[in-house]
């Protein structure tokens, strides 16, 4: 990654960006705090990014070196899809794998505003199962047609971008084999909802498998019908997570509103 081309005290960041970008920064910082709150972090690793509103080639991402519960709206780094830093007040750089993965999705999928990638124990465990995610409970049905990307090592080489994009296709969620989870949403709230539900689906599967009892799966036509209903209702604020997102922001404001700084 290139060195920062613009620096300023965090207190001045709001004055350097549009109102729309500042709101995106606040929501992305909230997403980091919530990911920490729900136990989906891996120390300073992993990344959540958000496209800068009004742009096609710029996005916000976390400083590589900060814990998720330290991130606020001012500390997020603005880069472009070629890896050039536009605004960075954090004192840290951007994780190379974060740029490779997120830059690939933001460049190829303009309808996706927010991308999240995690290394949770449940997500990594399911990513190593030959059968991947099993549609065994309702929470897994929105991911019936889930994408998969084979492990190629640490995702820090640019040529992997084309294969990430190829494997993701038109999906909004993907399991990175032997690696973790990846989701993309049209908003930060939608991306967090997808991440939470995919993580929960992985947890439920592992708990059921640990019982060493035979699993009961719904008939395939029921799975497909349920999946289709989720797709048809993707603009419903309950389904896309927006209704829950506003409630989650209220929860954060009660706990610690410093993410808004």
Cα-based distances in Å from 71 to 79, 90, 200, 223, 260: 17, 9, 24, 39, 9
Q: State the Cα–Cα distance between residues 258 and 162, nearest whole angstrom.
A: 38
Asked if residue 2 has pLDDT above 90, the reply is no
Over residues 143-147, mean pLDDT: 96
- Buried/exposed code over 137-148 (b: 16+ C-beta within 10 A; e: otherwise): bebbbbbbebbe
pLDDT at 49 over 70: yes
The dihedrals phi and psi of 185, each to the nearest 5 degrees, come to: -125, 160
The average pLDDT across 213-230 equals 95
Look at the block and give the residue holding tokens 């709101």: 23
156 pLDDT band, cuts 50/70/90, is confident
Give the per-residue pLDDT at 1: 46
CB-CB contact of 30 with 189 (8 Å): no
pLDDT of residue 132: 97
Mean pLDDT of the chain: 94
How much is the pLDDT for 3?
37
Percent of the chain surpassing pLDDT 70: 96
SS3 percent helix, strand, coil of the chain, rounded to 5, is 45, 15, 40
- pLDDT tens, position by position, 62-99: 999 999 999 999 999 999 999 999 999 999 999 998 89
Which residues fall within 8 angstroms of residue 10, CB to CB, at 6 or more apart?
A: 72, 74, 75, 89, 261
C-beta separation of 208 from 216 below 8 A: no
Written as six digits, the tokens of 132 are 């991947």
Residue range 10-260 forms a domain whose CATH class is alpha beta
**Domain edges within the chain:** 10-260
Per-residue pLDDT tens over the stretch 99-120: 999 999 999 999 999 999 999 9
Is the per-residue pLDDT at 216 higher than 70? yes
Q: Where does the pLDDT of residue 223 fall: very low under 50, low under 70, confident under 90, or very high at 90 and above?
A: very high
pLDDT at 11: 55
Where do we find the tokens 């965090």? 10
Question: What is the mean predicted confidence (pLDDT) over 174-179?
Answer: 98
Task: Give residue for tokens 């496209």.
Answer: 51
């Amino acid at each position: 990654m290139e060195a920062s081309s613009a620096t300023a005290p965090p207190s001045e960041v709001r004055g350097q960006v549009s109102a729309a970008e500042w709101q995106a920064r606040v929501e992305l910082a909230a997403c980091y705090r919530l990911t920490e709150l729900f136990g989906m972090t891996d120390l300073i690793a992993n990344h959540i990014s958000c496209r800068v509103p009004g742009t096609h080639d710029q996005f916000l991402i976390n400083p590589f070196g900060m814990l998720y519960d330290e991130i606020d709206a001012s500390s997020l780094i603005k880069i472009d899809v070629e890896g050039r830093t536009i605004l960075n007040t954090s004192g840290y750089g951007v994780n190379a794998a974060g740029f490779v993965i997120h830059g690939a999705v933001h460049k190829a999928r303009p309808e996706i505003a927010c991308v999240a990638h995690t290394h949770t124990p449940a997500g990594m465990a399911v990513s190593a199962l030959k059968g991947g995610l099993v549609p065994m409970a309702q929470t897994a049905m929105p991911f019936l047609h889930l994408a998969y990307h084979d492990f190629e090592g640490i995702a820090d080489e640019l040529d992997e971008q084309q294969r990430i994009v190829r494997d993701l296709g038109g999906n909004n969620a993907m399991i990175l084999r032997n690696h973790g989870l990846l989701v993309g949403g049209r908003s930060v709230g939608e991306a967090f909802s997808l991440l939470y539900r995919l993580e929960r689906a992985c947890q439920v599967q592992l708990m059921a498998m640990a019982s060493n009892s035979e699993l009961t799966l719904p008939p395939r036509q029921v799975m497909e019908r349920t999946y289709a209903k989720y797709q048809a209702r993707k603009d419903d604020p309950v389904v896309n997570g927006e209704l829950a997102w506003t409630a989650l922001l209220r929860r954060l404001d009660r706990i610690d509103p410093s993410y808004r700084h």
